[in-house]
Amino acid sequence: MTYIHDQAEPFFLQGHNDMALLFLHGFTASPSEVRTVAEKVHAATGCTVSGPLLPGHGSHPSFLNATGYSDWYRTVEEELGFLQHNYTSVYVAGLSMGGLLAMYAGLYIPGLQGVITINAPIFMRYRCLTRLFLIIKGIVPYFPKGDKKGQKILAGKGRFAYAVMPLKAFVSMYELRKLVMNNINRLSVPLLVIQSMRDGSVHHHSAVWLRKHVNLPAIQTVFLKKSGHVATMGDEQDIIAADIMSFMKNNRQGLEELCYDTGTGIGVIGKTFT
């Protein structure tokens, strides 16, 4: 049985209405990095929020190198199948690689009400390093991450993530990226794109590219001025939560508007869910 780190456990926040949100974490990380925003959305709206642990994560980098995007997406399919069976309006959101998976789900799973992507890696900042990973993936299993100070700060806030980049799995994520880019013009559900301007991993042109290549009129782009890559654990958490709730409200199916919950400090005013 694979050991799962205490801080990497999945979460399921049971709601009291017919709306549900699947919230996916990023590459090498765990549900811990999206839980705070998930809790804010859940508390303010009463919707159910599920944060699964994707295969290969939350334990040891070697397990991640033994998986690929088809394994991660299988978990997404299964969880969305459960949510769609039990809830009327289902959305999928994701941070970083989770954003790629969310868009991929939006392309191939019918009946979703909307897709939310946060700092999805369409264009990465270190192209030379990416090319190096593609070359040495069969020689070196891992590559150490930079920004150790930033990683330590996030760990102090409760985030579990691997300290290294498993290269075989990284290449699989890169393949997923290409699949999303090659097919995104066929996306037929509303899309919310959130991008940090201070993202040290993903270039903000990623959001611009998505806005240009998605053919939907129902696409919204939000740029965060203060946040880094793991924006869901940064100073603009309330903005992210409010944008997600506003997006869900505007694209809901047969539900009343979101309510204002004074306990969250998030002002999305409307009626309560029934």
For 4-60, write each residue's pLDDT tens digit.
999 999 999 999 999 999 999 999 999 999 999 999 999 999 999 999 999 999 999
Q: Is residue 231 part of a domain?
A: yes
**CA of residue 38 relative to chain centroid, distance:** 11
Could you give the dihedral angle defined by the CA atoms of residues 30, 31, 33 and 37, in that order, rounded to the nearest 10 degrees? 170
Q: Is residue 255 part of a domain?
A: no
Across the chain, what does the average pLDDT equal?
89
Instruction: Pick the closest to residue 141 from 54, 67, 68, 65 (CA basis).
Output: 65
Which whole number is the average pLDDT over 75-83?
A: 98
Q: Is residue 162 part of a domain?
A: yes
Going by their DSSP bridges, the two strands 114-118 and 191-196 should be labelled as parallel
Rounded CA separation 121/199 (Å)? 10
The first and second tokens of residue 178, run together, are: 């290409």
Q: Is residue 96 part of a domain?
A: yes
Q: Is residue 260 part of a domain?
A: no
Residue 222's domain comprises 6-250
If one counts the domains in the chain, the total is: 1
Q: What is the per-residue pLDDT for 253?
A: 58
Q: Is residue 265 part of a domain?
A: no
Which whole number is the average pLDDT over 202-225?
A: 94
Q: Are 167 and 141 in contact (CB under 8 A)?
A: yes
Model confidence, pTM: 0.90
71-74 contacts, C-beta under 8 A, 24 or more apart: 72/97, 72/101, 72/176, 73/101, 73/104, 73/105, 73/176
The first and second tokens of residue 12, run together, are: 């399921």
Query: pLDDT category, 1, cuts 50, 70, 90?
Result: low
Give residue for tokens 């998505």. Answer: 210
* 3-class SS of residue 60: coil
Q: Are 220 and 246 in contact (CB under 8 A)?
A: no
Bigger pLDDT: 64 vs 218 = 64
The first and second tokens of residue 263, run together, are: 């306990």
Q: Is residue 259 part of a domain?
A: no
Rounded CA separation 257/84 (Å)? 20
Q: Is residue 91 part of a domain?
A: yes
* 3-class SS of residue 268: coil
Strands (E), the chain: 11-13, 19-24, 48-51, 89-95, 114-118, 142-144, 164-166, 191-196, 219-224
The first and second tokens of residue 87, run together, are: 């809830």
**CA of residue 65 relative to chain centroid, distance:** 20
pLDDT in tens, 121-168: 999 887 766 777 777 777 888 888 878 888 999 999 999 999 999 999
What CATH number does the domain containing 235 carry?
Answer: 3.40.50.1820
